[in-house]
Chain A
Amino acid sequence: MATKRKYGYYIKGNRLAIIQQEDTLAGSSNDQFGMYKSPTESITEGLEIEYAYSPRYSIVERGTFVECESFGATDGFLRIIDSNAGLPTSGITHVVIEGSEKFNGLHKIKTFTSNTTIVLDIPYNGGTLTEGFTVFTDVNVLEDETFELDISRYQANAVVYYLKAKIAEDMGDFKKTQYFMREFKRQMEKGASALKRGPYIMQGFKEMT
């Protein structure tokens, strides 16, 4: 039966620390009662992270994927392993991994070994890591002129200002840089505020304290 728990978090470097309030009275006393410590029990998909990301790639066909079961190391690089021999042996440059604890996201392929293993361009010297994950192989990556950016036309205009600002900066024209950066920010602000109408209403919630 599920029980009510109390969690908190803090950020340390590039990692997220999850802490849980001790709520068990072992015997007559527990000197850690009420204090926060590392999670006391395992919970499948117990943590949900909502975050903003940069749309540098898009999965063209979500139906084109391979279910893999482990990671390994080959010459200091990460290797993905599919014992069902379903991995492609050529024709792609990138893959997207989902459902892994550590290696989610876009990865460049270093070498095709066989239809059971692909070596990715990520340094890795750890041991074999067994976990189920999904590899999407039909991926479009921002690396040439044909890539269609997943942003609105209004936001694309802001990107044009950003490019102009950076070109001016490279040429040492800082007045122009400041002008175009201001236009970039103004364009983004206008785009964001156009989606909001009416007054802002604030309301607290009981977990705020």
Chain B
Amino acid sequence: MKVKEIMERAGINQTGRAVAYIKDALDEINISHETHVTTQRIDITADQRFYDLPKDCLKVLDIRCKHHNNDNEKYRSIPRSIYEPSIVDEDGN
């Protein structure tokens, strides 16, 4: 459905306002119902602990690592740690 049709059905004629609210609606839909899902692969670098989340990421659904609990180069879900490990990242990167 086009933005124009949504605007007509909602009875709004200000394009900028409608587009802003449609963007909010799409965010809301994807946070609550995950209608648009994608994956991104990133290189793991030795001694680098922190990695940027994708710019368009609204909700993380799964984190997988190659070789996790397998030696067949398969990607498997990794667990989330509740606490930060006692060995801190020295350079903060």
Which residues in window 16-55 of B have CB below 8 A to A?
A: 18-19, 21-55
Give the contact stretch, choosing among A68-76, A81-89, A160-168. A160-168
Given A36-B81, A53-B36, A145-B7: A153 touches B1 (CB 8 Å cut-off): yes
Residues of A in contact with B, size category? 35 or more
Residue pair B46, A40 in contact (C-beta under 8 Å)? yes
CA distance A145 to B5 in the complex (A): 8
Residue pair B51, A16 in contact (C-beta under 8 Å)? yes
> In this complex, what residue of A is CB-closest to B45?
A42
> In this complex, what residue of A is CB-closest to B52?
A102
Given A48-B40, A48-B63: A42 touches B2 (CB 8 Å cut-off): no
Total interface residues on B, CB under 8 Å, equals: 81
CA distance A110 to B11 in the complex (A): 34
Residue pair B34, A52 in contact (C-beta under 8 Å)? yes
Residue pair A46, B67 in contact (C-beta under 8 Å)? yes
A2 at the interface (CB under 8 A from B): yes
Could you list 11 A-B pairs, sorted by A, with CB under 8 Å?
A9-B79, A35-B85, A37-B87, A38-B48, A49-B57, A52-B36, A53-B56, A104-B55, A142-B3, A158-B25, A184-B25
B interface residues with partner A (beta carbon < 8 Å): 1-7, 9-12, 15, 18-19, 21-73, 75-87, 89
New A-B pairs, 5, CB < 8 Å, besides A17-B84, A46-B42, A50-B61 = A15-B50, A47-B41, A48-B42, A56-B23, A148-B2
